[in-house]
Structure formats: structure tokens, C-alpha cells
């Protein structure tokens, strides 16, 4: 049997896929980036009423200091994306019985997150007030935050297999207090504190503490996959949009190409999937190509929860925070975590002059679109009085105006048993099949997790090819990438599968 060509096909042009394609192209490997949507980023943004809206709620990042910056530096374009600092600090909001001066509805208490978590005095006081902690509990909560900020990797690993709530209970004995603080700790993972891995949650907190002021890409989060894919093209990669990969072609547990929805077959010795792991194994490849133990492990994985997404355009600036996160239970309900980012706090050009954009998200099992909007209105009094538009998309819903349909599970849930050494690896038992994005490898949250996974994935590919990770790229391979990809369709399906 002929050896498949040294060509890589990357499935999905989100942050992880575009980063993997860029790094593969930089390594001199002829690469095709296939995206089913009409543009890279998989519907990463849309426009309405003069606003440019991120279709999903993205976490704030460390910019140049984090994995997104690492990808750009490895590609030799460290300054290709500008990461801006927000005009306002981040804030936490807590449901409570406090009322407005005129006796209005319930308002959420707030705690402003300091630029450096070492400056804990005022933050600890506001945190204690928001969570209704006593003086001793407040001191212990401050100790927890300070401890997390200085944890070593080995300390974090020791917390991987306990929940955030179990970890917090070591500091706060009262169950209600532990549940509240654990809910906040787990917010970056978009999981309840009783389910999230403490190690992963503490890792995110440590990165915040060490990362300095939070940043956001100029032009919105969709700018990241746009730039990554453009740089990949400059290095010889092909980018095909409106190109759905129907299946990955495998023979004798070795990748030999992909088949597109239109029947086009592309020969390749490397395939990188950014789909969730069960979809990759069951739908794209087929379980028969994997060992039974691997299939059983994949079937047992818990996916990240589906989310409720809300995008709100405002006539004026009201939020007074670059990001807003917190707990809100409404009328007597259990506190539900939510997270929001204000892209216009970083880049005012994303909205008409003087306007503001708020993107927010909550775990679908504990929230609804209406409930999330009400929580945001409590956290930002007067919000609904200045609305230009509200776009909401619950799990499994019909498509909201300008937005994709119900939010998909974004990767593998970061719960005990699925993080650290137990997190799915970027390589698979099928030779030449790799994984990138938020389903496997990497560490962190949001865009940074996807970029970190892509770096790990490409490093593994290069090691498997016998490459020195410190060696310069091979330009002679990049020079022939275009010719190889132009002739990709000539590899017929019958030849690949006979």
C-alpha cells in the first residue's frame, strides 16, 4: 500500500484549528484548513445595528503573555494581533436583597477585581459582603485566593480530582459559604462548583493573578482565527470555507485522507480534528477503527455543558466593568453562575460612538435566556431601559437573529477524572489522527485553552515525524504546498477506500 502524502488536513477553523494550521504551515507541512461555515472562525462574529458582535462569549485573555501570543511568536508574527487592556476592571456580582435608593427591585452586590490579586484588602471585604461571610470566613476566603495565586504546578495537580466545592470546604466549613465561593471559583470553567475540577479552576485563578490586566483582541475575538488563518495562507496553507468534512478516511488504523460533503476526496497522512471527541470517533472516523478500550473511554467522557448566550447592545455605557461574573438566584432560586464580557471596554469601535456591547453566558442546565437577562439587569441597574437589541440563544433553540443555533457543548468538561493527566490526549490510536481545540490537550479556559491545545498537538505531530522541535521550518515543503493541494481532488474516493 502506498504511503499517504505528507499533507495535513485540519478540520475546523476556530481558534484551535486555525492555530494548528498556522503552526503546521510554519513547520513546512503542506496544510489544508477546512471550515464548514462561510468564513473562518465558524461564525465567530456578526453585525447588526452598527455593532460588531462576537457570536459567543469569550473569556478575557492574557494577550501576548499567553498561548495566543505564543502561537504568533512561533509563527514569527508576534505583533500580528493587538490585544487591548480594558478601560474598566472586572467585577463580581452577587444576588442579594439590597434595593435601589427608590425601593426598586433587588440589586446585585458588586466586588471589583483588583488588577493584581495580591491587593486583596478591599476585594476581600467586598467578596465577603457579597457572599455574606462572617469576619473569620472572610479572612479564610482571602487566604484561599492568596494561596491559589502562588500554587505550583504540583500543587494544582494534587487538586485535579477534587471538586471546587470540596477544595473550598477546607477553608470554609459552612456549606452555604463554601458553595458560594466555589461557584465563583468555577466560573471560568462554566461549571457549578460542585462539579468543576478544583485543579483546573485554581489554574485559571493563578493565571489571572499572574497575567496582569486582562486583555481582549482588537476587532473582537473573531480577529484571532482570522489572523491565524491569513498567516497560514501566507505560509502556503490552503483555506477552504463552506467545506464540510463528511468523514476521515482510514485504512489499517492509519489516516489516508478525508472526504468532503460534496464527495471530494483529499489524500493526507495527517488529520487534525477540532470537533468534540465523541463526534470525531463515532461520526467522522468510525468506532471500528479504534481499540475497544479507547472507544469506551470516549463514550464515558462528559462533554462541556451547553450554554445560554445573550448579546445586548446598549445606547450608552452602563456596565462599568470590562467583565462581569457572578451568582444570581432570582426569586428564591439556587444561585446560578453567569459570565459576561464587555468587548467595547477594550475596543469602542465594536459599537456606534457612545454605545456599549455586553456578551454573556450561563450554563444551560441552570439558566434560561430570560433568567440570564434578568440577572444582568440586577447586576447593571437600568440595563433594560437602554437596550438597542437583545439576541438570545438557548441550548437546542432555533437560530436567533444573527446568531448560530443552540450553543454546542464546547469540548470536554473540566471535571475530576477528565483534567490533568486524565485529560484526553492530542494523539489517538489511529496513526496520523490528532485532536486540537477544547476537546483534548492544553490547559486553561476559552481561547487560551484552544491555542494551548493546538501548540501541544503540533508539537506531538512534529515529534512523531522525527522532527527536532527547535529546528527551523523547511521552506522547500511550503513551496510545493499549493501544487499538492490543487491536485488533492484527483485522489478519488474509490482509490482511497478500495
pLDDT in tens, 281-319: 999 999 999 999 999 999 999 998 888 889 999 999 999
Whether 239 and 262 map to the same domain: the answer is yes
Is residue 83, in this structure, part of any structural domain at all?
no
Whether 236 and 330 map to the same domain: the answer is no
Among 407, 433, 449, where does a domain finish? 407
Is residue 393, in this structure, part of any structural domain at all?
yes
How much is the pLDDT for 481? 41
Whether 52 and 97 map to the same domain: the answer is yes
Query: Residue with C-alpha cell 495535513?
Result: 8
Is residue 128, in this structure, part of any structural domain at all?
yes
Do residues 284 and 364 make contact, with C-beta atoms less than 8 angstroms apart?
no
Is residue 75, in this structure, part of any structural domain at all?
no
The pTM (predicted TM-score) of the whole model is 0.87
Whether 339 and 351 map to the same domain: the answer is yes
Query: 67-81, 138-152, 194-208, 213-227 — which is least confidently predicted?
Result: 138-152
Q: How far is CA 217 from its chain centroid?
A: 14
327 phi and psi, to 5 degrees?
-125, 135
Whether 272 and 309 map to the same domain: the answer is no
Query: 135-139, 231-235, 343-347, 460-464 — which is least confidently predicted?
Result: 135-139
Buried b (16+ CB within 10 A) or exposed e, 106-120: ebbbbbebbeebeeb
Q: Is the pLDDT of residue 457 over 90?
A: yes
Among 211, 239, 274, where does a domain finish? 211
> Between 268 and 132, whose confidence is greater?
268
Percent share of the chain, pLDDT over 70:
81
Q: Is the pLDDT of residue 17 over 90?
A: yes
State the chain's mean pLDDT as an integer.
Answer: 83
The beta-carbon contacts of 464-471 under 8 Å, at least 24 apart in sequence, are 464/427, 465/6, 467/27
Query: 44-53, 252-261, 320-329, 427-436 — which is least confidently predicted?
Result: 320-329
What is the mean pLDDT of the segment spanning 413-431?
95
Instruction: Tell whether the torsion through CA atoms of 472, 475, 477 and 478 is positive or negative.
Output: positive
pLDDT tier for residue 397 given thresholds of 50, 70 and 90:
very low
Q: 327: phi > 0 → left, psi -120 to 50 → alpha, else beta; which?
A: beta
Q: Is the pLDDT of residue 396 over 60?
A: no
Is residue 71, in this structure, part of any structural domain at all?
no
Q: Is the pLDDT of residue 173 over 70?
A: yes
Those residues with Cβ within 8 angstroms of residue 416's Cβ, 6 or more apart along the chain or in another chain: 160, 161, 162, 163, 197
Q: What is the pLDDT of residues 54-97, one digit of tens each?
A: 888 888 899 999 999 999 999 999 999 999 998 888 888 776 43
> Between 358 and 324, whose confidence is greater?
358
Whether 258 and 398 map to the same domain: the answer is no
What is the mean pLDDT of the segment spanning 423-448?
94
Whether 140 and 186 map to the same domain: the answer is yes
Whether 272 and 287 map to the same domain: the answer is yes
Whether 206 and 180 map to the same domain: the answer is yes
Task: Count Cβ atoms below 10 Å from residue 194 Cβ, excluding itself.
Answer: 14
Residue 257 is part of a domain; what is its CATH number? 3.50.50.60
Among 155, 179, 211, where does a domain finish? 211
Query: 224-228, 276-280, 294-298, 491-495 — which is least confidently predicted?
Result: 491-495
How much is the pLDDT for 28? 95
User: Domain range for residue 158?
Assistant: 116-211
Number of domains making up the chain: 3
Is residue 66, in this structure, part of any structural domain at all?
no
Q: Is the pLDDT of residue 394 over 50?
A: no
Amino acid at each position: 500500500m502506498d504511503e499517504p502524502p505528507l499533507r495535513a488536513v485540519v478540520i475546523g477553523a476556530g481558534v484551535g484549528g486555525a492555530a494548528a494550521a498556522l503552526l503546521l504551515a510554519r513547520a513546512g507541512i503542506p496544510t489544508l484548513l477546512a471550515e464548514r461555515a462561510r468564513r473562518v472562525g465558524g461564525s465567530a462574529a456578526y453585525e447588526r445595528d452598527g455593532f460588531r458582535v462576537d457570536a459567543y462569549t469569550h473569556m478575557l485573555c492574557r494577550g501576548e503573555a499567553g498561548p495566543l501570543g505564543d502561537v504568533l511568536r512561533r509563527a514569527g508574527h508576534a505583533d500580528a494581533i493587538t490585544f487591548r487592556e480594558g478601560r474598566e476592571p472586572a467585577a463580581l456580582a452577587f444576588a442579594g436583597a439590597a434595593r435601589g435608593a427608590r425601593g426598586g427591585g433587588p440589586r446585585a452586590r458588586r466586588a471589583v477585581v483588583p488588577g493584581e490579586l495580591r491587593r486583596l484588602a478591599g476585594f476581600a471585604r467586598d467578596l465577603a459582603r457579597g457572599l455574606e461571610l462572617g469576619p473569620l470566613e472572610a479572612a479564610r476566603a482571602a487566604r484561599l485566593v492568596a494561596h491559589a495565586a502562588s500554587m505550583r504546578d504540583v500543587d494544582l495537580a494534587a487538586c485535579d480530582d477534587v471538586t471546587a466545592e470540596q477544595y473550598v470546604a477546607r477553608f470554609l466549613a459552612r456549606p452555604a459559604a463554601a458553595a458560594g465561593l466555589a461557584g465563583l471559583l468555577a466560573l471560568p470553567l462554566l461549571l457549578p462548583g460542585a462539579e468543576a475540577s478544583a485543579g483546573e479552576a485554581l489554574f485559571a485563578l493563578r493565571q489571572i493573578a499572574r497575567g496582569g490586566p486582562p486583555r481582549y483582541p482588537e476587532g473582537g475575538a473573531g480577529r484571532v482565527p482570522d489572523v491565524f488563518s491569513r498567516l497560514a495562507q501566507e505560509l502556503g496553507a490552503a483555506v477552504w470555507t463552506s467545506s464540510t468534512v463528511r468523514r476521515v478516511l482510514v485504512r489499517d488504523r492509519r489516516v489516508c485522507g478525508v472526504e468532503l460533503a460534496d464527495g471530494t476526496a483529499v489524500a493526507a497522512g495527517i488529520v487534525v480534528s477540532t470537533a468534540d471527541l465523541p463526534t470525531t470517533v463515532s461520526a467522522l472516523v468510525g468506532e471500528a477503527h479504534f481499540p475497544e478500550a479507547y472507544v469506551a473511554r470516549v463514550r464515558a467522557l462528559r462533554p462541556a455543558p451547553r450554554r445560554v448566550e445573550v448579546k445586548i447592545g446598549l445606547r450608552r455605557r452602563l456596565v462599568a466593568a470590562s467583565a462581569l461574573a457572578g451568582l444570581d438566584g432570582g426569586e428564591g432560586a439556587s444561585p446560578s453562575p453567569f459570565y459576561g464580557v464587555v468587548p467595547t471596554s477594550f475596543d469602542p469601535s465594536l459599537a456606534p460612538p457612545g454605545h456599549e456591547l455586553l456578551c454573556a453566558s450561563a450554563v444551560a442546565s441552570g439558566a434560561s435566556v430570560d433568567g440570564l437577562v434578568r440577572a444582568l439587569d440586577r447586576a447593571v441597574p437600568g440595563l433594560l431601559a437602554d437596550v438597542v437589541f437583545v439576541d438570545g440563544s438557548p441550548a437546542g433553540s432555533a437560530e436567533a437573529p444573527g446568531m448560530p443555533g443552540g450553543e454546542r457543548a464546547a469540548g470536554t468538561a473540566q471535571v475530576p477524572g477528565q483534567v490533568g493527566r486524565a485529560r484526553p490526549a492530542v494523539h489517538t490510536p489511529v496513526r496520523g489522527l490528532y485532536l486540537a481545540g477544547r476537546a483534548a490537550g492544553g490547559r486553561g479556559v476559552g481561547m487560551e485553552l484552544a491555542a494551548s491545545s493546538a501548540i501541544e498537538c503540533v508539537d506531538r505531530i512534529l515529534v512523531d515525524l522525527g522532527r527536532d522541535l527547535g529546528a527551523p521550518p523547511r521552506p522547500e515543503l511550503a513551496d510545493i504546498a499549493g501544487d499538492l493541494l490543487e491536485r488533492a481532488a484527483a485522489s478519488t474516493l474509490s482509490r482511497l477506500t478500495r
